[in-house]
Structure 1
Amino acid sequence: MELEERVAELERRMAALEGAERPAPEVTDGTFWALEGLKAEIAGAGAAGEDGAVLFTGAVRLPTEERYEWQFGAFTERLLDEDWAEAADSFAALGHPVRLRLLREILGGRRTAAELADLAEIGTTGQIYHHLRQLTGAGWLHTTGRGRYEVPAARVVPLLVVLTAARP
């Protein structure tokens, strides 16, 4: 094949690829593509996956243009055998509307205590620091330097999963 033919063929193939945009899968369209993948993994795990498993995953782009891809799975037997009381502090930290608002604002780009203090209906500076300490102690936030906070990368998707699971 001559060089010109090869280039023309590549151009046709590129045009076909560019024109063949696949729609993003609807997460509520009734298909269970993630569940089917999990079942295949469980089947491959043999006896370890006999009682089932749970999986949560996400590909996220925040308003700050930061991107996170994350997944975690656990076998049901292990989850049922664990002491669930150990999760109480983490859930408790999320159990206040102001703390949830702070997390949302931090994910949205407001990262300093001063920026957060400027928000309406969020409380006094002392109250804000109290909430930030609660979130930091539970691992939902960490400090990145003088008065700057961020949600750790490994907690962005889990936070959004928890919020999704809490919806009525």
Structure 2
Amino acid sequence: MTDLVQRLAEVERRLDALEHKPSAKQQPASADTFWLLDALQAGPEIPDGSVAFGGDVQLGGSSYQYQWQRPTHAVTDEPWTDAITRLSALAHPLRAEILRRLLAAPATAADLVEEGIVSSTSTAYHHLNELSSAGWITKAKASTFEIRASRVIPLMTIIIAGEDH
């Protein structure tokens, strides 16, 4: 009977904690409040020592929801070759500006030239090909490019990870 009472008390404590947590869509009141970590610990079982990210955004008339979690050993023990290749494609100012533009809506190489992001269509195609080869963008139709849906939240996560914390 005591075990049942303890289990019920634990369930009530967790329910109370969930009901009084700030919404994941709200900014925490304080940088000292670990609302994401608290939510991860209260949620489904995840391996100890994990890194997770996710998001829920609306951009250019589209909605993106995404989450990803990796245990620490998958980050520390596995080669980084593929990830570094993808990241190196981002490390160019024009590519960054192209991606920022593509977050708003798909675009053609001609659109990028017309908007003054790149100086010529050959320059646009060079950078679009690099971003495509690295898996960040895809052709939506004919000659229109867009960010792959599964890359929108990771891209935004990388950008905010680079902010001064």
TM-score computed with the length of structure 2 as normaliser: 0.77
Whether contact under 8 Å (2:54, 2:66) holds in the other structure is: yes
Distance, in Å, in 2 between the alignment partners of 1:121 and 1:114 is: 10
2:53 matched to 1:56? yes
Alpha-carbon offset, residue 121 of structure 1: 4.9
Moved beyond 6 Å, runs of 4+? none
2:71 matched to 1:75? yes
Find the structure with the greater CA-based Rg. 1
Task: Specify the SS of the correspondent of 2:160.
Answer: helix
Match of 1:33 among 35, 48, 60: 35
Give a deviation string over 1:66-91, Cα, whole Å, max 9, x none: 11111111111121111012212111
The alpha-carbon distance between structure 1 residues 25 and 109, as it changes in their structure 2 partners (threshold 3 A), is same
Give a deviation string over 1:126-148, Cα, whole Å, max 9, x none: 11100000000001100122111
Task: Specify the SS of the correspondent of 1:77.
Answer: helix
Task: Specify the SS of the correspondent of 1:131.
Answer: helix
Alpha-carbon offset, residue 123 of structure 1: 2.3
Q: Percent identity?
A: 33
Alpha-carbon offset, residue 61 of structure 1: 1.0
Residue type at the aligned position of 1:65: G
Specify every segment of 5 or more residues in structure 2 that has no aligned partner in the other structure, as ranges.
1-21
Alpha-carbon offset, residue 37 of structure 1: 2.2
Equivalent residue number for residue 5 of structure 2: none
Equivalent residue number for residue 87 of structure 2: 91
Taking only aligned residues, the RMSD between alpha carbons, in angstroms, comes to 2.0
Distance, in Å, in 2 between the alignment partners of 1:29 and 1:149 is: 39
Whether contact under 8 Å (1:110, 1:116) holds in the other structure is: no
TM-score computed with the length of structure 1 as normaliser: 0.76
Distance, in Å, in 1 between the alignment partners of 2:99 and 2:129 is: 12
The alpha-carbon distance between structure 1 residues 102 and 121, as it changes in their structure 2 partners (threshold 3 A), is closer
The alpha-carbon distance between structure 1 residues 93 and 133, as it changes in their structure 2 partners (threshold 3 A), is same
